[in-house]
Amino acid sequence: MKPGEIGPPSPTGGSTRRRSRTAGAGVVVFEDDVIPLAADLGELPRALSQLPDDFDMCYLGYMGRERPSPWQRAKQAFYFVLGPLGVVPWSSAEALRLHARPFSPNLRRAGLHMCAHAYVVSLSGARKLLEAQTPVAFRADWVFPFLILRGRLSAFVTSPRLFDQETPEHVPPGGTTSYIHG
C-alpha cells in the first residue's frame, strides 16, 4: 500500500481518531478532488434529514452500482446461490448487499461502491472505521465496502449523487473544478 492510499479512515494521521472524539451527529469528509453536482446539490438537506438516528456513514459522492443492470442482478443471484460453496468471492449475505437498495426518497442502503468523493460519518461510524484500520489494513476506499458487505457498517448513498471527482470528462470547458485544487 502506497502512503497516498492511506486516507481519512486511517489512524496514522490521527484524523479519524480526532473526529471520533468530537463528532456530534456527523462530520462531512471531502476528498481533495471533489466537485459538487450543482443540479442536484439542493437535495442535500432532504437526504440528510432522511438518515436514521443510528446511521454510520452516508456517501454523498461515489462510483458504481447505483442502478444495477440486469446482467449485474443475474451475477448477484449467481453469487447468492454459490456463496455457501465458497467458490465465488462473496458469501450469500454479502451478495445480497452488493447493490444499493431502496430506503427512502433520497437515500438507498449502500452496497459495493468505490471512490468516496464525499461522505458523512457519524461518531459510531468513525469508531468502527478506526477499529477496522487499527492497525492499517485497507486502502481508504476499500475499508467502507469491506464493512458494508459484512453488515458491520450502517451505510447509505444519496440518490441522486451530490458530488463527483474532478476528471477531464466530468469538467466541461469552463465548468466547475475542485474548489480545493482551484
pTM here is 0.79
Q: How confident is the model at residue 181 (pLDDT cuts 50, 70, 90)?
A: low
Cβ neighbours of 55 (radius 10 Å): 21
With bands split at pLDDT 50, 70 and 90, how would you rate the model's confidence at 125?
very high
- The DSSP result for 132-179, as a single string, is HTSS--S-HHHHHHHHHHTT-S-EEEESS--EEE--GGGS-TT----T
pLDDT in tens, 34-65: 888 889 999 999 999 999 999 999 999 887 76
Confirm if 156 and 58 have CB atoms less than 8 A apart.
yes
